[in-house]
Amino acid sequence: MYKYSEKDKSIIESRTKQFKNQVQRRLNGQLSEEEFKPLRLMNGLYLQLHAYMLRVAIPYGELSSSQLRKLAFIAEKFDRGYGHFTTRQNIQFNWPKLPDVPDILHELSKVEMHAIQTSGNCIRNISSDHLAGITIDEIEDPRPWCEIIRQWSTFHPEFSFLPRKFKIAVIGSKKDRAAMLVHDIGLRLIKKDKEIGFEVFVGGGQGRTPIIAKKIKNFLQKKDLLNYLEAILNTYNQEGRRDNIYKARIKILVKELGIEKFKLLVDENFKKLSDKNLEIDKVSIDKIFSFFTLPELKPNSHKVQIHKNKEYNEWVTQNTLSHKVSGYSIVHISLKSANHPPGDISSQQMMALSKISEDFSFSEIRVTHEQNLILPHVENKNIYKLWIELKKLSLATPNIGLISDTICCPGMDYCALATARSIPISQKISNHFKSFSDQKILGDLKIKISGCINACGHHHVGNIGILGLDRNGQEFYQITLGGSAKEDASIGEIVGPSFPESKLIDAINTILNTYKKNKKKKTEDFLSVFRRVGIKEFKKDLYDNT
Amino acid sequence: MAKKLRGEFFILSANDLRTGEVVFLTEKGWSVNSSEATIIKIDQVDKFQAISDRDEKKCIIVSSKFVELDENRKIKSLRDKIRNSGLTFKI
Ligand code: SF4
């Protein structure tokens, strides 16, 4: 895991002090809200529906046990005893008080954490594959590259006032587990003629205008990564629209210019502006990679234990994966138990998990963009013991990748921009579909829910997407089908008129029945059936006879 | 703000600057209890806007807004109802 340099530490400390001073000036009236708002947003502090909300960065979703313990402490001391993991692998605290925020930031800095660039029109937290460095199908670990980009982009003077926010994801496998293709820039490590470099995608995104990113470069040499990113960002900074917030994202620029024209401009900038100092040499790459070595795992032949306990066996089947080192497993911790707000975790759970990660997983925890957690290196011989511990904490729900593992944004219960609630919808779904065997029959199925068109709940790329709408003061829910955030990414199609909350579960059931009756073999998943039969079949069953 | 308002009756709401809590203007000042809120007629909005501006300057509140009431003098929109009564699910 990356450790802060002295320079990193001093940057964070001085920013924390600076913000303390700004808060003080706000509280005593020297700064108006208009003046203070951009300053607080630069430090991840929003004012939401009921209270302030602080978003803390978790670079590429990686946490140490001491960081998780600190988050538990903050939740307990300064908030209401819980936190919420987001779809950018960050954590949000929903109830901090303004005078406490500098103290929170100070506490975070003690464990090398902060809230910088979690808001505003800058380069946000770099996200990555939650299985980075531990899965067999990887070309190379993407985390060091995320770190290199994080260091380059933090406080980058030219990219602190972009036309809009900017999101980058890096993955190291063919499989996309980070929704890379719906990012402003997506980078995939690939191998060409024995050399590892990047495939570069640009202009993906969700929100009001969902678009799958286009490939802009087939192969980018590692040494050129930062110069090429600068060239893209410079092109966006020069050409991107600032007159209309809805047209300001890079995806609109790429769409309007066309990928070929955009590529030409980027290539020109790359030639013109490339800076020797930004070329990454092998020594610096190796230095960053040295932070991301595996802990001392001892390959062994232990298999995951089988027990008579049905519940345990279900959990093992659904929530564990093989590690690249034999004798170890990757364990998913679902934050989606029935009736639970997706991604929420209590301070007690965080505190206990921190200890569990020390006992079972070399003090490492990861956050997935699907709002779950991972213990990355658990010895197979300890899996049953671990399950017992997780179960005591209500953290052993066996539903990873199943229908009740919904992604869900905070919606109108928290968010000032929402048009409808989303958490109660996800609770209804997780409650309705809580039987493991029923969920298994449905197989891999991603339901994603957003409380407004900003799509923080990724509904556009849900196999079933649900978007909350306001229809004359009433909550209605629009359903999209066939979205995917994986390597075969696609934007879901709107199935038809929206449903009131009272009819939504029935509508989902009808959709699932259409899937079941069209399924050709047991293993054919929802998305494959949808892509084979098309939306008409689903429309017919949903709306004919109504 | 007044020009954009629709409706006849309102209460004035804001967030407490320090705590972020949702508060409502009552005869005795700002309170978390909306049932004590002063009911404001559309033609009184400017007067109450001035009170809100004054209290924003005094660093008591932030982000004030007029909350529309229905014919029964209850909060009309779902968003404002949730702002008033809190989360609609158990944590
Ligand atoms: S999708 Fe909309 S409602 Fe949900 S968190 Fe984002 S802005 Fe808020």
Closest CA to A247 of A206, A209, A202: A209
Distance of alpha carbon B8 from the chain centroid: 14
Confidence class for position A436, pLDDT limits 50, 70, 90:
very high
Residues of A in contact with B22 (CB under 8 A): 49-51
pLDDT at position B2, please? 45
Max Cα separation, chain A? 68
CB within 8 Å: A47 and B15: yes
Is the CB of B59 inside 8 Å of chain A's CB atoms? yes
Most informative mutation of A84, A167, A409, A426 for ligand 1 (most atoms within 8 A of CB):
A409
Confidence class for position A544, pLDDT limits 50, 70, 90:
confident
Residue that the structure tokens 């640009």 belong to: A202
Residue of B63, B83, B86 with shortest CB distance to A47: B63
ipTM given for this complex: 0.95
Closest CA to B87 of A350, A414, A130, A123: A414
Instruction: Tell me the C-alpha distance between B54 and A208, whole Å.
Output: 37
Q: Give the SS3 label for residue A400.
A: coil
A57-74: string of b/e by CB count within 10 Å (b at 16+)? bbbbbbbbbbbbbbbbbb
Q: Give the SS3 label for residue A259.
A: helix
Tens digits of residue pLDDT in A332-380: 999 999 889 999 999 999 999 999 999 999 999 999 999 999 999 999 9
Instruction: Tell me the C-alpha distance between A449 and B14, whole Å.
Output: 29
CB within 8 Å: A50 and B22: yes
Residues of B in contact with A82 (CB under 8 A): 91
Instruction: Tell me the C-alpha distance between A288 and A295, whole Å.
Output: 16
A451: Cβ below 6 Å to ligand 1?
yes
B70-89: string of b/e by CB count within 10 Å (b at 16+)? eeeeebbebbbbbbbeebee
Most informative mutation of A415, A459, A470 for ligand 1 (most atoms within 8 A of CB):
A415
Instruction: Tell me the C-alpha distance between A454 and A467, whole Å.
Output: 10
The answer for A 78-107 residues in CB contact with B (under 8 A) is 80, 82, 95-99
Residue B47, number of CB atoms within 10 A of its CB: 11
The average pLDDT across A454-473 equals: 96
**Dist. CA A410 → ligand 1 center (Å):** 6
Q: Whose CA is nearest to atom 2 of ligand 1?
A: A452
Residue of A26, A49, A341 with shortest CB distance to B82: A49
A450: Cβ below 6 Å to ligand 1?
yes
- How far CA A230 is from CA of A144, A236, A370, A440, A477, in Å, comes to 18, 10, 29, 46, 40
**Dist. CA A181 → ligand 1 center (Å):** 20
pLDDT at position A539, please? 97
Instruction: Tell me the C-alpha distance between A338 and A428, whole Å.
Output: 8
Please report, to the nearest 10 degrees, the dihedral formed by the alpha carbons of residues A501, A506, A512, A518 taken in order. Answer: -130
Instruction: Tell me the C-alpha distance between A263 and A215, whole Å.
Output: 10
Is the CB of A413 inside 8 Å of chain B's CB atoms? yes
The average pLDDT across A107-112 equals: 96
Domains of chain A: 6-109 (3.90.480.20), 127-291 (3.30.413.10), 310-392 (3.30.70.3340), 407-544 (3.30.413.10)
Structure tokens at A415: 């968010």
Confidence class for position A157, pLDDT limits 50, 70, 90:
confident
Listed in order, strand segments (DSSP E) in A163-254 are: 168-171, 185-192, 195-202, 214-221
Residues of B in contact with A26 (CB under 8 A): 17, 59
Is the CB of A423 inside 8 Å of chain B's CB atoms? yes
- Say what the pTM is: 0.95
Is the CB of B81 inside 8 Å of chain A's CB atoms? no
Tens digits of residue pLDDT in A373-422: 999 999 999 999 999 999 999 999 999 999 999 999 999 999 999 999 99
Query: Is the Cβ–Cβ distance between A494 and A537 less than 8 Å?
Result: no
- How far CA A36 is from CA of A95, A155, A343, in Å, comes to 19, 19, 30
